[in-house]
Amino acid sequence: MADGGAVTGEARSSGPAGYWAPGSHILWRYRENAGPRFHIARPVTVVRDDEDVLAVWMAPGTQCVKPVLADGTPLHQEPLATRYTKPRSVQLDHWFGTGVLKLARPGEPWSVWLFWEPGWRFKNWYVNLEEPLVRWAGGVDSEDHFLDISVHPDRSWHWRDEDEFAQAQRDGLMDTGLAERVRRAGLRAVEAIRSWGPPFSDNWENWRPDPSWGVPSLPEDWDRTPARMSS
C-alpha cells in the first residue's frame, strides 16, 4: 500500500495488464475543452483496478487544481453567456466535501461518482459524461463533456447541466457531431440506470475507505504531458 503523501501511480502491481494495486496514489485529470492544457487535477487513492472497473477515492481535504477565470473569479459566479469565453487560469484548492468515490469502466464515455452526506448517509450517484479515460503511468486523463446525470437512492434520475451543454455548443467547445455522440452516450447511461446494471447494482454505496489510507499530495508536475498507455 502506498504511504500517505506523494502520488505513487508508477508503482504498479505485478499483473500482466499493469493494474494499480489498492492503496496506490494516482492523478485523475481533465483537459480543457478548447486547448491542450490540463485544468483539473485530483490526487486519488486506488480502491480497485482490474478489467471491469477502476475505482478511486478522493478523500476530504485533498489538494486539487481547478479552473477559474483569469482574475480568480470562480466559474459558477460568472454568467453562463460568458462563462466559457472569458480568459481562464487555474487555482489550487482543497476538496472540502465528504469525499467522492469515482468508478470508471474501461472504454465507457462516462464515470460514475458516489456522494455521501456527513455520517456516511448515501446521497446520490452522479454520471459524469466524458471521454473514455486514458491511462498513463501516473494516473488517468479525460475531457469533460458538460452534460451529466444525477441518480437518487430510489433509482430515479434526471439530466443535469443541460444549459451548460447547450452553451458549450454555442461557444464552439463542441461541434454537432461530438454533441450528438455525447447525447447518445448519455442515453446509454440511462439504459444502464433503468436496468440497474453495473456499477449501480454493485453495492458501492456501502463501501468505506481503509482508515489507514493517507491523503495523497498534489505533485509539482501535476500538469506534465505523459506518454499514453491505453484506454
Question: Does residue 192 belong to any structural domain of this protein?
Answer: yes
Sign, Cα dihedral of 219, 225, 229, 230: positive
Residue 182 belongs to domain spanning? 25-204
Q: State the residue for C-alpha cell 470508471.
A: 104
Q: Print burial letters for 66-95: b (CB count within 10 Å at least 16), e (below 16).
A: bbbbeeeeeeeebeeeebbeeebebeeeeb
Q: Do 40 and 30 contact (CB within 8 A), yes or no?
A: yes
Q: State the residue for C-alpha cell 493517507.
A: 214
Question: Does residue 85 belong to any structural domain of this protein?
Answer: yes
Question: How many domains are there within the chain?
Answer: 1
Task: For residue 42, give the nearest of 117, 106, 113, 119 by alpha carbon.
Answer: 113
Q: Which residue positions in the chain have pLDDT lower than 50? A: 1-5, 10-16
User: Cell digits for 65?
Assistant: 487544481
Question: Does residue 101 belong to any structural domain of this protein?
Answer: yes
Count CA within 13 A, CB hemisphere, residue 50. Answer: 4
Question: Does residue 113 belong to any structural domain of this protein?
Answer: yes
Can you give the pLDDT at residue 79? Answer: 97
State the CATH number of the domain containing residue 180.
Answer: 2.40.380.10
Question: Does residue 18 belong to any structural domain of this protein?
Answer: no
User: Kind of pairing, strands 139-151 and 25-31?
Assistant: parallel
Using N-to-C axis directions, what is the helix angle for 162-170 and 176-195, rounded to 10°? 160
DSSP structural state of residue 54 = E
Question: Does residue 214 belong to any structural domain of this protein?
Answer: no
Distance CA 222, CA 15 (A): 26
State the pTM of this model. 0.91
Question: Does residue 9 belong to any structural domain of this protein?
Answer: no
pLDDT tens profile 120-179: 999 999 999 999 999 999 999 999 999 999 999 999 999 999 999 999 999 999 999 999
Distance CA 66, CA 38 (A): 9
Question: Does residue 228 belong to any structural domain of this protein?
Answer: no
